[in-house]
Amino acid sequence: MDVRMINRKSKKRLFFLIKGKISSVFTTLHICFLLTIAFFTLSCGGNDDREVDDARFKLEGISINNIKNQDSYVDLEPDLTIVLTFSDKVAVNSLSDNITLKNKEGKLQSLNINSNNNPVITIAAGVQQFAGYELIINTALKSDKGTPILTGKTYSLTTGMDMSDKFLRIPDEELLTLVQKQTFRYFWDFAHPVSGMARERTTSTGTVTTGGTGFGVMTIIVAAERGFVSHTDALNRIQKIVSFLDTKCTRYHGAYAHWINGETGATIPFSVDDNGGDLVETALLFQGLLTARNYFRANTAEEIKLRDDITRLWEAIEWSWYRKDNENVLYWHWSADKGWIKNLKITGWNECLIVYILAASSPTYSIPETVYHEGWARNGDLANGSLFYGHKLPLGRDYGGPLFFSHYSFLGIDPRNLKDRYADYWEQNRNHSLINYKYCMENPKNYYGYSGDCWGLTASDGNTGYSAHSPSNDRGVIAPTAAISSIPYTPEESMKALHFFYYKMGDKLWSDYGFVDAFNLSANWFDDQHIAIDQGPVVIMIENYRTRLLWNLLMSDTEIQAGLIKLGFQF
């Protein structure tokens, strides 16, 4: 074949190949051009929309109690200040219908709307503490130009505590006196009219309590000393109680029942098998009566009679009988028909040290020191010795248990210099209180309100029932008696708590007989009752902190001194 023909064919193929490549390139460029045009068209169209949106009326910011731009607000103080900032002035006549605050039941809350700085709208609202609300901005809200708001909005609000003072501030000494005086009224105004004894709690009618009456006697002494009642009236009231115990009440080898009918003196069973003598309640009663015996020391016929009557009842208590079969331990209960069925040994560490001190001090039915060491101290097994929050706990369970352990036995027994082979009791009680305080500050269960101002776990009412609250049994329940009655051990921490309970929570806690028994802020629950054994230590331990009155009175008793020496105490 002619070489020239071959070259022509090759050139022709090359032409079409180049033409195809060029066509493909132009096609690609055309598509890119079209896409670019489309992109710019869409972009320009989007900017137009944004400009329209930007020009529309909208909410630009919100602040509630100085907390800004949240979708939900928690733990707000109930005195609400809401600030709404809009993009344009708001039509004032559309505000009230289109900005609303509702509670969880859907009820509208009253709002005070201030539009003086429009488009910044300030709203004031007073609502309940520990409650939930919704702040609603409706789409019908308009600017003063008639433009509807771009979008509505709903905010969730949850309130916490109202931290404003509920009462005028007074000097601390006046506050302590006020708390003592008002709490004392539980034992004076609310005492049973026939027996004069302390009712179990504010819902009780005929039921009086033995241990709580012992506390009540000590509060009457404080009241006489501070002038809340006259010396004569105090003497007569305590004589009324003693005469009722002497002539009306059933005794069980000298011991009294836990609960007694305040009119007849008959035993009211504390439980099915607890219908007889209660040695612990009896000890708490006579801690108070022996203190009274040392307070009313005048050589008048009335005061001599009171002392003689107390002495006779004191000497009739058969502490040694409660060793059961001469065991080296004391038993809590005995009754005529049930015998020792409860079978509960009194062993430490808890609130019952006073039982062994009184049993050793008895001039008639005393116990030997071996009963204390083998029974109460369990030959040293009541020891702890561990550190909690940096504080050594000499005795008892980890973290110390409920705070009444450091109160009941030490209403009259002075722990400041009290020591034996097992513990320094000032260290025990102070550290127990500090551990309880620091546990509440740490708040490992994240209960609402626990803090250095709001602390104190002890036996009390609770929103789920009565319980011995403690770090190992923490249900979110704070009892004012716990921190306040620890004031000799933790004066600064206890005064902070007292300020909080009175000034910050007084509208919920303060009543005719002092502070109510307990509260749980996490459950928004506040007790409406008082209990004798929680009210008494408040009055007594404040006085021991201030003047050591009750400590000085009981520790001056020569029989108590002999009992302490017998058991190996230094004091």
For residue 84, report the phi and psi dihedrals to the nearest 5 degrees. Answer: -110, 130
Q: Is the pLDDT of residue 25 over 60?
A: no
* 3 state SS of 144: coil
Instruction: Average the pLDDT over 86-105 and give the result.
Output: 96
Band (pLDDT 50/70/90 cuts) for residue 509 is very high
Band (pLDDT 50/70/90 cuts) for residue 32 is very low
% residues pLDDT > 90 (the chain): 90
* 3 state SS of 335: strand
Instruction: Average the pLDDT over 471-492 and give the result.
Output: 98
Pick the CATH number of 172-240+248-328+341-566 from 3.10.150.10, 1.50.10.140, 3.30.420.40, 3.30.930.10: 1.50.10.140
Q: Which residues pair with 520 in a beta bridge?
A: 525
Instruction: Average the pLDDT over 126-135 and give the result.
Output: 93
The rounded distance, in Å, linking the Cα atoms of 465 and 532 is: 17
Q: What pLDDT, on a 0 to 100 scale, did the predictor assign at position 505?
A: 97
Structural domain spans, the chain:
59-159, 172-240+248-328+341-566
Q: Is the pLDDT of residue 49 over 90?
A: no
Q: Is the pLDDT of residue 91 over 70?
A: yes
Q: Is the pLDDT of residue 283 over 70?
A: yes
Q: Which of 17-21, 388-392, 544-548, 566-570 has the lowest mean pLDDT?
A: 17-21
The rounded distance, in Å, linking the Cα atoms of 283 and 256 is: 9
Q: What pLDDT, on a 0 to 100 scale, did the predictor assign at position 46?
A: 46
The rounded distance, in Å, linking the Cα atoms of 220 and 239 is: 12
The rounded distance, in Å, linking the Cα atoms of 569 and 560 is: 11
Mean pLDDT of the chain: 92
Give residue 457's region: left, alpha or beta (phi > 0; psi -120 to 50): beta
Residues 6+ apart with CB under 8 A from 418: 424, 425, 426, 564, 569, 570, 571
Q: What pLDDT, on a 0 to 100 scale, did the predictor assign at position 55?
A: 67
Q: Which of 160-164, 242-246, 247-251, 309-313 has the lowest mean pLDDT?
A: 160-164
Q: Is the pLDDT of residue 11 over 60?
A: no
- Three-state SS string over 14-63 comes to HHHHHHHHHHHHHHHHHHHHHHHHHHHHHHHHHHHHHHHHHHCECEEEEE
Maximum distance among all alpha carbons in the chain? 161
pLDDT one-digit tens code per residue, 288-297? 999 999 999 9
- Comparing CA positions, the residue from 427, 392, 385, 387 lying closest to residue 406 is 427
pLDDT one-digit tens code per residue, 191-210? 999 999 999 999 999 999 99
Question: If one looks up domain 59-159 in CATH, what number appears?
Answer: 2.60.40.1220
Q: Is the pLDDT of residue 16 over 50?
A: no
Q: Is the pLDDT of residue 385 over 90?
A: yes
Q: What pLDDT, on a 0 to 100 scale, did the predictor assign at position 54?
A: 54
Cβ–Cβ under 8 Å, residues 432 and 422 = no
Q: What pLDDT, on a 0 to 100 scale, did the predictor assign at position 56?
A: 87
Dihedral sign (CA 247, 250, 253, 254): negative
Q: Is the pLDDT of residue 13 over 50?
A: no
The rounded distance, in Å, linking the Cα atoms of 285 and 287 is: 6
Instruction: Average the pLDDT over 137-165 and give the result.
Output: 95
Predicted structure pTM score:
0.88
Who has greater pLDDT, 560 or 42? Answer: 560
Residues 6+ apart with CB under 8 A from 355: 279, 280, 283, 330, 346
Give residue 404's region: left, alpha or beta (phi > 0; psi -120 to 50): alpha
